[in-house]
Structures are given as C-alpha cells and as structure tokens.
Amino acid sequence: MKKLGPSRARRGGLRMLVLASMAALAGCGGGGSTAVVADSGTPSNGSSSGSNPPPVDAGGGTWPTAALTDPALRGREPTLPKTVCATLTATLKKNAAGLLDDAVDAAAGNSQPDAARIQAAINACPTGQAVKLATGAQGENAFLSGPLNLAGTVTLWIDKGVTLFGSRRPADYQIAGKNNCGETASSDNGCSALITTAPNGNGVVGDGVIDGRGGAVLTSGLYAGKLTWWDVGALTKTLSNANQNNPRLLQINAGSNFTLHRITLQNAPKFHAVSSGVNGITVWGTKLLSPSLEYSVAGYKCDAGSTPVISGTANVSRPSTCFTPATIKNTDGFDPGQSQNLLIAFNHISTGDDGIAIKSHNSTTGPVSNVQILHNRLYFTHGMSIGSETDSGVNGVTIRDLAIDGFDMNSTSGFRIKTDDSRGGEVQNITVDGMCARRVQQPIAIDTYYGDASGSSTRQFPNIHHVTVRNFRYLDTPGSIYNGTGALLLFRGYQSQGQFNYLYGITLDNVVYDSTPGWVSTKLSTPVPSYAELTMGPGPVSFASTLLAAKDSNQFKVFDLRSATSAPYDCSAAFVDFPAANAPMSVR
C-alpha cells in the first residue's frame, strides 16, 4: 500500500519546483523548424534578419500590448511558407449561407471531388515546400475533400477567403475492418481524420478555413438522409455503451515540429485537432469554432425540436437543423496528447466541449512535458483541462493569460485536472499564473474521481501534486447561475482499492472570487473536499474561510501562509468578442 501525503506538501520546496519548471519551459520552441514567411514573400515579422520581433496581432485588435510584448514569445511567431510547390484553384463556390449546396455532393460519386488532386499535389511536393489552396478566377472559393494524408515535410496552406470542406459521406472516411463510420458502437475507431500527418517540420497554415460540416446531413450508411454528424454524436448521450464514429478534422501523429498557424478550424464532426507522440508543436493565432453561424442562429436561439436530442429517447430519424455548443458532443478544440514541447498562443476557441485538453495515454514518448499555454481566449467550452487520460504522466505545464467565459453552459469548468483509476497517473509541476473566468460551474477543480468513477480493474491510480494557481480571478456576472455558491470548488485526492494518494503541494496564491463559492456535491462516498493538502498564500485567497472550515475533516489539510495584500488579478481586458463574423454569440 502506497501513501503520499503530509510530509511532502510543504512550503519552500514547492516554490523551488515551480521556479525550476518555469525556467525549463522558457526554452520551449514548439514547431520552430517549419520553413515558413508572409503571403507576398515579405517576412511578416522580420524573422529572416534574426531581429527577434514581437508577435503580430492576428486576433484583429483583441490582444493587449502586454500580451504582444511578452518576452517569452518574442521571435517565436511562425511565418507562412517561403516556397509553394503547387497552387490549386477552387472550382466550387460557397452559397449565400457560407455552405455548399446539397446538390454539389448528393451523389456518391461527387462526395469528394477535390481529394485526388489535392493528394496528388501533396505527394509530388518537395521537402520543405507547401501546397496552396487558392480562389479561382471567377471567385470560386471552396474545395470539397475526403481524408488527406499530409506528408511530414509538406505544409498545407489555405489562403484567405478559401474554405476546405469535409465530405459528409461516412463511407469516404471508413477504416477497413473497423466500426462503421457515421454510427455508434462500443468503440470509436471507424473513421479516418479529414487530415492526417506524421510531422517532420510541416504544418497547416494560412488565413483560410477548414470546415468539417458537423451539421450536414449524412449521405451514406445507416443514417443517410436521417442524421447529421452532430446527431450521431448526440446518440452517445441517449444510447447505452455508445461511442460516436465521427471523423476528426486534424490528426497529428508520431513526429516532430508541427505548426498550426492562423487557420480557422470549424464545425468538426468530432475533435478539431489532436496530437499523439509529437515532439514540438506550435499552435498560434488560430480560431476554433463550432457551431458556426452557418449551422446556428445568432444568440443560439434555436427553435424547439430543431437541435440534437441529448436526453430521453434517442433520435435516429430526424436531421437537426440548428445547433448550440451544449448540443454538439466531443468537439474538443485542441487535445495535445502524448506530446512534448508545445507552445499554444494567441488562440480563440469556442467548441462546446473541452477548449484545450492535455491527455497522456499509452505513451511511447514519455510524459507530456514542457507545455506553454500563453494568451488564449476560451468561449463556449468545458474549459482548460488536464486529463482525463493521465496514465502516461504530465510533468511541466505553464498557463498564463487565459480567459474563459462559460456562458452558463452545463458542465463548464475554468481550470481543471480530471482523472480516475481507470486512466490515472502522475500529474505534477503545473502552474496557472494569470487567469480570468466567469459563468462557469467549476472555476477550479482537481479531482481523481472524474465522472464519479472508482474501482476500475485497470488500477491506474491518480497521483496529482505540485500544482500552483496564482493570480486567478472569478467574476460574478449579472444573471449568471454560477455566481456565489453556484460556482463550485472541487479538491479530491485518491483513496480507494487500498491506495492513498493525496493531492499535495497544491498552492492558491492571490485567488479571488467576487463572492464565496460552494463545494461540488458527489454521488460517491468519498466526500469533497478530501485527501488533499492546500497551501494558501502568500497572496490572498478570498474564500479562505470556506477552506479553513473544512480543515481536518476527511483528511483535508490547509496551510495558511497568507501575508501579502495583492490586488486582484486585472480582468478588465480579458473578455472580448470572438474575432469572426460567423460566431453566433461572443461576450454578450
């Protein structure tokens, strides 16, 4: 029986570990080897001269000067490709709604008319060059493709005004011998991603759009003419033992130095972008949006009966016509898994599920490590997550200048670490320094019983320690259901199956809520809070009385080292509109 607890939760050692972690993170280079410059061939940031330039505000004025002059990011912004091996021009046009007319791909033979020529151009492209998708001579602005394999040394550049649409025919994505794509099953292994790459210095870049058409009616398989991709996702909430076999937009596998720059990924049938086993990733200046206004209405004011069914009797015969972030499922923004040396900066993410979710599962490359998440804005998401898969370990994550507005959507979080004993592992040296949140159910949550799960036969025990949350502000919002005690705290270490793993080395420093939060309720006998050790200080903790009231019950320890009277973290510039005209709702 292993026990981790009080003797390891103390004071100065934590600060030394955090400082060491931050020093290591300062050297993170992400996908720095990608050969990249500006649209016209003129360096967009002077990188060719080695002048170490500041970032360009790709968010259209949404970033304050302090973010754009961050020394940690100076000279690290990617640029667009220097050499284009092939420019392909569009032959299709988006309709007035920004979509493709159904007649374009109603016939099976027309489901992916551009796939072959895009793939041929990629296959023929020399190392270090790019295939560029551009508008046609008569204003054509759309490509339509099924799965593409992006060579590891070739970058895909989607030009401004151009949209690469994904096929809505599940058969195009079908992986031979696996579960049927476009249906539910006991596992979700049936579909290829729209774009798959094993990187070796490449990327997906440009000011264009990749649209997965999550709200489009399927044209093959069991639900042809009956459901959309997102309706299939909703079946996971209404059928037992159901996983959705829907395609991801971008899958990045087993390589090094990948860049995702300035691109918009939207309306993914499932996850927007996922990495696995990659050393060196830069995600910079992107927009991830689902559902877009093309699949919704302003303010998400969908008519009754028009949205996916997520409770009660399953819908298997009616395609939905309007979608909200709460009714599309498993549409995570960016899930960096089993990867090292990541830089995620200046992104806007509104995807309905996890905005960013760091995962570490069955890794062959070691723990997820050396991760910097700097200057990001999350909208309708489940928040910033580590987990739920942590069995291969997470060691060294820094999060700074993160804003999250949950818009009162159910199951929303600010910063959370989530895992359980079916997929648990060691999570350590995590620092949040500068975060604003509002209208979320759980602003801070660290839990080893994710989904109230316990007693798994896999016995992969969670072990979470040395986590610092500093300069964190939670703001009450008029009319929000998550003000005051509606905003819930969750700190729960692991004690099951003869194993006792405290949350230890957990520090709250200048953590201020506008009013006093409550505690999460649980269905398990393991209460909240329990088996955890928290240190408060040196800055203020506005709900100190709540923590102290729970002290010494259920193995919950609190060390009060508050000595400073720091001002609450400044959130005056944190919440801004999503920088896209097709966002149905932003800060309203």
Q: Annotated catalytic sites, by residue?
A: 353, 382
Please give the torsion angle defined by the CA atoms of residues 533, 519, 493 and 552, in that order, rounded to the nearest 10 degrees.
40
Measured in whole angstroms, how far is the alpha carbon of residue 137 from the centre of its chain? 36
Report whether 112 contacts 165 (CB < 8 A). no
Among candidate residues 515, 498, 518, 377, the one with its CA nearest the CA of residue 445 = 518
Backbone angles phi, psi at 370, to 5 degrees: 55, 65
Report whether 564 contacts 540 (CB < 8 A). yes
Residue 514 identity: D
- Would you put residue 132 in left (φ > 0), alpha (ψ -120 to 50) or beta? beta
Residue 533 identity: E
- 191 by Cβ neighbours in 10 Å (0-12 / 13-18 / 19+) ranks as buried
Measured in whole angstroms, how far is the alpha carbon of residue 468 from the centre of its chain? 21
State how far the Cα of 207 lies from the Cα of 189, in Å rounded to an integer.
Answer: 31
Residue 258's contacts (CB-CB under 8 Å, 6 or more residues apart) are 31, 34, 197, 199, 202, 203, 252, 275, 278, 280, 281, 282
Report whether 439 contacts 413 (CB < 8 A). no
State how far the Cα of 61 lies from the Cα of 190, in Å rounded to an integer.
Answer: 41
State how far the Cα of 290 lies from the Cα of 1, in Å rounded to an integer.
Answer: 46
Rg, the chain, Cα only? 23
Strands lying side by side in the sheet with 499-501: 3-4, 499-501, 494-496
State how far the Cα of 581 lies from the Cα of 578, in Å rounded to an integer.
Answer: 8
548 membership: H or E segment, kind and range: helix 544-550
Handedness of CA 134, 135, 136, 137 (dihedral sign): negative
State how far the Cα of 518 lies from the Cα of 20, in Å rounded to an integer.
Answer: 34
